[in-house]
Amino acid sequence: MTKEEIISKLPYSKPFLFVDELLHVDENGVTGTYTFDEKLDFYKGHFKNNPITPGVILTEVMAQIGLVCLGIFLLNKEFNKNTAIALTLTEIEFLKPVFPNEKVSVVSEKIYFRFGKLKCKVKMINQKNEEVCSGTIAGIINSK
């Protein structure tokens, strides 16, 4: 499965698709990027006159790239429109803000994938190669 095929199978669309490109994917992990467009609606109120990306959105970016993209790759042909995806755990430490128009990279390492549960160690890195946030994300990804 190509990187483009993985992105096309994501169950999201704009404005809630937070994957621009996958740089690497194999059975042990994935690396991808996303650029935060300054026109995204949440910047209007978070925060007044000093917009930064909400932590919940940073977590979502890490989940989409680091968990769902990897899950699609691992399931390969078993992944279809009836595949169920549910986030079960997030444990994230936030270290730096992410501003409008910033491009970030997400690096995910698989901890395990068994019985339909995928657990990964994830980190987000900004363009200055600084760690923005990191932690653990898990979810259930089952093909029906």
Sequence-ordered strand ranges (E) for the chain: 21-26, 29-35, 84-94, 103-114, 117-125, 131-142
- Cβ neighbour number for residue 63 with a 10 Å cutoff: 23
Tokens of 100: 């409008």
Residue 80 contacts residue 143 (beta carbons within 8 Å): yes
Hey, which residues are catalytic here?
A: 46
Signed CA dihedral, 54, 56, 58, 61: sign only: negative
